[in-house]
Structure 1
Amino acid sequence: MLIRAGYDISFSADTATPMMAMLSVHPSRHQDLRTPHRITTVPDVALHDYIDAFGNICTRVSVPPGGLTLSCDFVIEDSGEPDIQSSDAIQHDIADLPHDVLVYLLGSRYCETDRMSETAWSLFGHVPPGWGRVEAIVAFTHDHVEFGYHHARPTKTAWDAHQEQQGVCRDFAHLAITLCRCMNIPARYCTGYLGDIGIPPVDAAMDFSAWFDVYLGGEWHTFDARHKHPRIGRILMARGRDATDTALTTVFGQTTLTRFEVHTDEVAAI
């Protein structure tokens, strides 16, 4: 299956303003690209890429006075299969976890394990560890939080989403991640493209999406508390402890977002 994806994102600025962006396809998907993946800018300015501590591609750029548009359009091949289900994947004892996985048990900016621990154990302490426990956390989060773009705010944490019972996809992911970590299940935040492929069309503007991975049975597995069911056509951009590590753009100054358009569609050929 081929997917055409990309974006046009514009900012206005009064003065030159440094920006860091995570708007590239994750290196783990580069072998699937069928057309070049290149970020273009209007006006034409210099872009500098580097790989961060989580293996994501970060792009440094300066928004010039007046503003900047970042654009990308590419085609990528996908298996066309829904998220893999591994119901027999075991939950590891902490002593058996790889060193680089331990960080995904810790609290982070948007995932306050200290505030959620008692709640998590009261809700899921009776559920046998492993795949079923993660499914129970996903089901709870999906049913507990009402989705709505008007519920979004950049400061909302997992605790806030749990208390307010409202949020967007990143809030669903943060809450589920936090509950998993409280139950000693390593969990990491993911962001990327997720089009309306394999489901009825959604009457809403396309956006980027957030989901999460958990470490069970010696590998990472994809879960999505916003949609609950396995989906087709995820295109990973970045992953980390939470949205702090995977922010689409981080601006070191004052800018205004003036345009935000994302496209993700299955195509027959290129």
Structure 2
Amino acid sequence: MKVAFLGDVVGRPGRRAVHLWLEENRKEIDLCIVNGENSAAGFGLTEKVAKNLFSYGVDVLTGGNHTFDKKEIFQFIDNYPILRPANYPEGTPGKGYFLIEVKGKKILVISLMGRVFMECLDNPFFVFDKIVEENEADIVIVDFHAEATSEKQAFGFYVDGRATAVLGTHTHIQTADLRILPQGTLYITDAGMCGAVDAIIGMGKEEGIYRFIKQLPVKLKVPEKPERIQVSGVIFEVDKNGKIVNFERIFQIYKRSEDGSYTRWEGTL
């Protein structure tokens, strides 16, 4: 079974990049999971955007600290395979995990959020324990949305051997530590971002620089027509015993043409 996990989708450029990548690769993938918490103008998720992503071939959307930025999500989150972090308090709208069947295998997809420099939610370590204890699955995939690399690594080792894959999100910068942990769990600190390349974690450079120079609030905006867009993530293969047998990072750039379309670009950053 082949699974693709794509990191945080940032606005229209990110959605465009995901669409292009899935047009090229979706037929080879059995399950596609995408972090969608920044996919609507960089903050949150709308129903229209969610429908678009699902129409591209996305199977599950995971969340994070921006999940509820667009208040309309309360009206539709339960109608689609959209996850918010499972360690939100009991009674929060939405689900924190999905148990789905693909090719005869039960796959448990969990969305969790770290607590260091983030909102003070329930302990994600213990929430993972509870979910796994209550749900029998052949494959367990976790989107761990967190700021601190140390917390992400600690979680990875904590669930090593119990989770099939722990894929970090939130910081938008793909890390170079994709590997198999000692007990067999596939791990990466951050899967990266889908969005504008020449931007500050997917948002406009000017606004980002202004905030750091002036120390004043300014509304961050997603670039409208970036010259280059990217897809970042991880693709991996699981055998019939639930063991990871192949894995690699996804990092693909698309360059804008004069007519406004984007084509695959083999250059480097």
Q: Establish whether TM, by shorter chain, passes 0.5.
A: no
TM-score, length-scaled by structure 2: 0.25
Q: State the TM-score, normalizing by the size of structure 1.
A: 0.25
* Larger relative contact order (Cα-Cα within 8 Å, sequence gap ≥ 6): 1
